[in-house]
Amino acid sequence: MSVDRISGIGLAVLALLVLEETWRQRLPLGSVASPGPAYFPGLLAVLLLAAGLAMAALGGGPRVSTLDWREWRHGVAIFAACAFCALALERLGYRLTIFVALGFLVGVVERKSPAATLVFAAALALGTFWLFDTLLRVPLPRGSLGF
Amino acid sequence: MLDVLQNLALGFSVALSPPVLFYAFVGCVIGTLVGVLPGVGPLAGISLLLPATFGMDATRAIVMLAGIYYGAMYGGSTTSILMRIPGEAASVMTCIDGYAMARKGRAGAALAIAAVGSYIAGTASVVALMVMAPPLARVALRFGPPEQLALLLLGLLVLAYMSSGSMLKALAMAALGLLLGTIGIDQMTGYMRYVYGVVELGDGLGVVPVAVGLFGVAEILATAGAPTPPAVIKPRLSELLPSREEWRQSTWPIARGTVLGFLIGILPGSAHIIASFVSYAVEKRVSRRPQDFGHGAVAGVAGPESANNSATSGAFVPMLALGVPSGPIPAVMLAALMVHGVAPGPLLIGNQPALFWGFIASMYVGNVMLLILNLPLVGLFVNILRVPYPYLYPAVLVFSILGVYAVNGSVVDVWIMLLMGVLGYVLRKLDFETAPIVLGVVLAPLIELSLRQSLAMSDGRYAIFVEHRIAAALLVFGLGLVLLNLYTFARRRLDWRARMALADKGDSS
């Protein structure tokens, strides 16, 4: 199947999900003369559905099987590190969270030496905290441990 | 004209006084720093520093805050060009070709063109501000909801018309962006839409997490694990400045970006963001080599950077001349003026000439300062590319997370950035442009609100869009573009059929 066809189907399914969700949330549709909160998203979902169906019908682009996804393992590791940051930022505090995430990315994913990893992670975690929190007065979370 | 020159002389006598000069310098430095850091945009910078101006006199306060504003516009291009992270939303378009230029070893040239373009646009738009502020402000005041809706729709149509890629894909991405922009509280009725109990989503998706995710995080996901990760670039001193050819290629885009940016900047809404998008689309369309866009086209940096700086000055027109802010940043600056007992509006020029003309003159001075500050820093910033990628991308991720978190102090924004990063990565693989999504997120609340306000004004009659002359003219122009596009599409299809017929004929003979 071609890339455009599968993208079109994906967008059409997304549009249908939005329409279903709009109906499920019981948002008032209003009327053409007095649109309600569901009117604009509903209209956009119909537009997206039309665009998706048109793309699926026209096809085009390379075959999906020819796409190169070789970097997915790296991508998952980076996503995991970022997700950890989002989960831990307000629990562990900025400095500790960033130190751990950088240690994982540089030391485990990129396999740099422990010394280089340690220096890099500590310098960036502490340096950015000083720049933003101390110097620019942008409040960053300290967490329950005070870091 | 003589009056203007006399007033300007008065303004320069204020702007060049050592204390005002000092505060302009401080504002420019802080603004550049704020712009360079992703996430902490001009609004956050101005809001954070607003209390610090309470002890100053009004002229110094407004000069410093304006310095932060256009300093952030200058600085915003740096991370866009070097790391593909938009320093603020108006730099999204610079990411595309600026980053491509950097990967080709032309980071210095891209930064210098962005700085010079911003300087020219900033200075020229100040001249326009000085001469045309009162009449332009009156025109801007005639823009009610119907006119605004017509203009926003025209903006979307212009973008679709100018897109040189698949128009269907561009429209699908714009629709997706507009849909994402509807998340949050419905401004007319107060209904919560698609928030699933997440209170932070009530205000809608922020432009910064969406832009940083779709551009910065998606780029890292796609390149960090590639079989051949991006090479370390070691720019030589001779490569830091643009070549004669690059200057030539940037001349007209800077001129066009300046005019477009100023005119769009006057209008209400997130003008500086829209200005950079429209400028990019125009440059892509008028270029003799549109296929270069996305691969390091000089015009793709020069146009949008000039436009967003020019829009910065344009935004001051209604604020100073009428006391009506055209967006959140002028609104904060308006508040700063009012805190100091100054009432902006038609009487400001007459009542407080030293403040008004001092502010105008300080914008000239600020632009010169920013150029002097930024050009030598090009060499320093470009050195970031010397950092090996296994160290560079984790650092970029940290700045992205930090910048996005800093906007609202919310981890929900970090999650949005991350999800947008995954979406951007997948869309990139499937050959979609992601910039229309960002524009959609910006425009959706404005389009929906102006449509419903217009209908409320007219008791549900759509004739209001015809009865208002400006709105009607804008819509007719937009319709013309659609018809022109359909005509071009039909001709292309006919050409294709003719070619096929010729090929068949050739095969059979």
Radius of gyration from C-alpha coordinates of chain B: 23
Q: Is residue A99 domain-shared with residue A127, that is, in the same domain? A: yes
What is the residue range of A121's domain?
Answer: 72-135
- Which of B185, B194, B405, B427 is the best mutation test for A, with the most CBs of A within 10 A? B405
Q: Is residue A62 domain-shared with residue A79, that is, in the same domain? A: no
Q: What are phi and psi of A143, to 5 degrees?
A: 75, 175
What local confidence, expressed as pLDDT, does residue B509 receive?
44
Q: What are phi and psi of B136, to 5 degrees?
A: -65, -35
- Tell me the β-bridge partners of A35: A30
Q: Is residue A62 domain-shared with residue A76, that is, in the same domain? A: no
Q: Which helix (DSSP H) or strand (DSSP E) does residue B11 occupy?
A: helix B2-15
Q: Is residue A20 domain-shared with residue A45, that is, in the same domain? A: yes
Inter-chain Cβ pairs, chain A and chain B, closer than 8 A: 171
CA distance B369 to B371: 5
For residue B108, give how far its alpha carbon lies from the nearest alpha carbon of chain A (Å): 25
CA distance B280 to B304: 6
State the burial class of residue B408 (Cβ atoms within 10 Å of its Cβ: 0-12, 13-18, 19+): middle
For residue A29, give how far its alpha carbon lies from the nearest alpha carbon of chain B (Å): 12
A19 touches chain B (CB under 8 A): no
Tokens of B392: 């560079």
What local confidence, expressed as pLDDT, does residue B251 receive?
92
Last residue of a domain, one of A66, A93, A114: A66
Q: What are phi and psi of B371, to 5 degrees?
A: -65, -45
C-beta separation of A125 from A103 below 8 A? no
C-alpha dist (Å) from residue B277 to A46, A123, B305: 25, 37, 10
C-alpha dist (Å) from residue A25 to B173, B179, B189, B192: 24, 16, 15, 9
Beta strand pairing status for B184-185 and B192-193?
antiparallel
C-alpha dist (Å) from residue B309 to A120, B30, B257, B320, B363: 36, 17, 9, 17, 12
Which residue type sits at A106? V
A16 touches chain B (CB under 8 A): no
What local confidence, expressed as pLDDT, does residue B324 receive?
67
Half-sphere exposure of B19 (CA within 13 A, CB side): 8
B465 touches chain A (CB under 8 A): no
Placement of tokens 């920013």 in the chain: B370
Please answer yes or no on whether B182 and A40 come within 8 Å at the CB atom.
Answer: yes
Sort out which chain A residues have CB atoms less than 8 A from B182's CB and list them: 40-41, 44
Please answer yes or no on whether B224 and A74 come within 8 Å at the CB atom.
Answer: yes
Please answer yes or no on whether B390 and A110 come within 8 Å at the CB atom.
Answer: yes
Q: Is residue A90 domain-shared with residue A52, that is, in the same domain? A: no
Q: Is residue A51 domain-shared with residue A88, that is, in the same domain? A: no
Q: Is residue A142 part of a domain?
A: no
Residue B4: how many CB atoms within 10 A of its CB?
13
C-alpha dist (Å) from residue B315 to B275, B319, B414: 11, 7, 30
A132 touches chain B (CB under 8 A): yes
C-beta separation of B284 from B340 below 8 A? no
C-beta separation of B34 from B72 below 8 A? yes
Q: Is residue A22 part of a domain?
A: yes
What local confidence, expressed as pLDDT, does residue B452 receive?
92
B420 touches chain A (CB under 8 A): no
Q: Is residue A17 domain-shared with residue A59, that is, in the same domain? A: yes
What local confidence, expressed as pLDDT, does residue B338 receive?
79
CA distance B117 to B447: 30
Q: Which residues contact A118 (CB under 8 A, 6 or more apart)?
A: A103
Tokens of B8: 């300007």
CA distance B129 to B137: 10
DSSP B202: G
Q: Which residues contact B345 (CB under 8 A, 6 or more apart)?
A: B321, B322, B323
CA distance B290 to A146: 53
What local confidence, expressed as pLDDT, does residue B83 receive?
80
Ranges of residues in chain A with a pLDDT under 50 are: none
What's the total number of domains in chain A? Answer: 2
Tokens of B285: 């369309």
Please answer yes or no on whether A25 and B222 come within 8 Å at the CB atom.
Answer: no
A2 touches chain B (CB under 8 A): no
Q: Is residue A25 domain-shared with residue A55, that is, in the same domain? A: yes
Please answer yes or no on whether B178 and A44 come within 8 Å at the CB atom.
Answer: yes
In terms of CA atoms, which chain A residue is nearest residue B404? A86
Q: What is the pTM of this model?
A: 0.79
C-beta separation of B61 from B340 below 8 A? yes
Please answer yes or no on whether A98 and B398 come within 8 Å at the CB atom.
Answer: yes
Q: Is residue A90 part of a domain?
A: yes
Q: What are phi and psi of B427, to 5 degrees?
A: -65, -35
Q: Is residue A95 part of a domain?
A: yes
Last residue of a domain, one of A11, A38, A66: A66
CA distance B307 to B293: 17
In terms of CA atoms, which chain B residue is nearest residue A103? B394
Q: Is residue A61 domain-shared with residue A79, that is, in the same domain? A: no
- Which of B176, B427, B461 is the best mutation test for A, with the most CBs of A within 10 A? B176
Q: Which helix (DSSP H) or strand (DSSP E) does residue B106 occupy?
A: none
Q: Is residue A77 domain-shared with residue A61, that is, in the same domain? A: no
CA distance B423 to B196: 20
What local confidence, expressed as pLDDT, does residue B235 receive?
64
A88 touches chain B (CB under 8 A): no
What local confidence, expressed as pLDDT, does residue A8 receive?
94
Furthest CA-CA distance within chain B: 88
Q: Is residue A140 part of a domain?
A: no
Tokens of B309: 């700086």
B322 touches chain A (CB under 8 A): no
Please answer yes or no on whether A112 and B390 come within 8 Å at the CB atom.
Answer: yes
Last residue of a domain, one of A16, A44, A66: A66
**Helix, strand or coil for residue B243?**
coil
Ranges of residues in chain B with a pLDDT under 70 are: 1, 37-41, 48, 87-88, 133-134, 136-138, 140-141, 158-165, 229-239, 267-271, 318, 322, 324-328, 346, 485, 488-489, 492-509
